[in-house]
Amino acid sequence: MTDKIPFTKMHGCGNDYIYVNAMEHPIADPIAAAIAWSDRHKGIGSDGLVLIDRSPVPEADFSMRIFNADGSEAMMCGNASRCIGKFLYERGITTQTQLRLLTLSGVKMLELHVNDGIVESVTVDMGVPVLNDSTQFISRGLDKGTFVSMGNPHYVIFTDDIDQVGDTGRKLEVHPAFPQRCNIEFADVTTDGSIRTRVWERGSGITMACGTGACATAVAAALTGKARRNSQIIMDGGTLDIEWRESDNHVYMTGPAEFVFDGEIAMNKLQTT
């Protein structure tokens, strides 16, 4: 393996990850790399590590593996999916504007919105939300939120105190009702109908944004009558447009993706360009 690993730092609404083209630079120990490189004082600094690779199955064009800052592997990330679309297109790895991305939550469809060779935004078909019977959570003392799975678990609480995300989110992530831990969203519907949301991501803590969390929040808002099936979800790092389409019951997420910088990392030495 090379002594130096090229990487790209990208973010979607402030949800920042380290991206490595694993087609050219495989990572032998992504768990250890995610923990070391995500450190915001001693590493590159990020919410985690994303590996972009070829798809091992014909149903997809590329694959994604994502490791949180604590080394745990995530099922899916909407913000990372958009960044992958931008990376693949603008780095000349693909000329397609419709991409099939294999994740641990299945194949996700990406539609790239391109202007003069620049991917300005990406729409991701996030699939059909899975809704669990709320009684199992109420019986365990969780009666204030709505559980929605977007390929990964989310518990959405509507409240006028979304800044409890740190204290309460930390506790709820590891609540006994969630044996695999859970992402926790705190949301407040504003006067103009948009939804201000803060998120505690399992394995990463407070993040600037969460694509699947935005989708779960929009679904929860529609289920509880707080919003219609089209929502603007305003997170700490930016706004995502979410549509829970009636025609196919799929959730579609549209938002930006941005490059931050490229670099190379060698052992404990970090060089940026």
> How does pLDDT run across 97-145, given as a tens digit for each residue?
999 999 999 999 999 999 999 999 999 999 999 987 665 666 566 778 9
The reply to whether 198 and 113 lie within a common domain is no
Give the integer Cα–Cα distance in Å for 109 and 114.
16
Position 250 scores a pLDDT of: 97
Position 135 scores a pLDDT of: 58
Task: State yes or no: is 210 an active-site residue.
Answer: yes
75: domain CATH number is 3.10.310.10
Which of these is catalytic: 13, 83, 182, 210? 210
Position 228 scores a pLDDT of: 94
Helix axes 211-223, 78-90, angle to 10 degrees: 130
Q: What is the tally of structural domains in the chain?
A: 2
The reply to whether 161 and 237 lie within a common domain is yes
Assess whether pLDDT exceeds 90 at residue 258: yes
Kindly report the average pLDDT of the chain as a whole number.
Answer: 93
The reply to whether 138 and 242 lie within a common domain is yes
Q: Do 216 and 150 touch, CB atoms closer than 8 A?
A: yes
What's the token pair of residue 55? 């798809």
The reply to whether 42 and 141 lie within a common domain is no
What is the CB neighbour count within 10 angstroms for residue 267? 9
- Residues 197-230 pLDDT 10s: 999 999 899 999 999 999 999 999 999 999 999 9
Which of these is catalytic: 13, 77, 83, 215? 77
The reply to whether 183 and 110 lie within a common domain is no
Q: Which residue range forms the structural domain that includes residue 66?
A: 5-127+256-272
The reply to whether 190 and 104 lie within a common domain is no
One-letter amino acid at 94 equals T
Task: State yes or no: is 182 an active-site residue.
Answer: no
Within 8 A by CB and 6+ apart from 254, the residues are 113, 121, 122, 123, 124, 240, 241, 242, 243
Position 3 scores a pLDDT of: 81
pLDDT band of 165, cuts 50, 70, 90: very high
Assess whether pLDDT exceeds 80 at residue 20: yes
pLDDT band of 269, cuts 50, 70, 90: very low
The reply to whether 122 and 134 lie within a common domain is no
- Which of 248, 187, 249, 246 lies closest to 218, judged by CA? 187
The reply to whether 25 and 63 lie within a common domain is yes
Span 235-239, average pLDDT:
96
pTM, two decimals, is 0.89
Give the integer Cα–Cα distance in Å for 13 and 233.
11
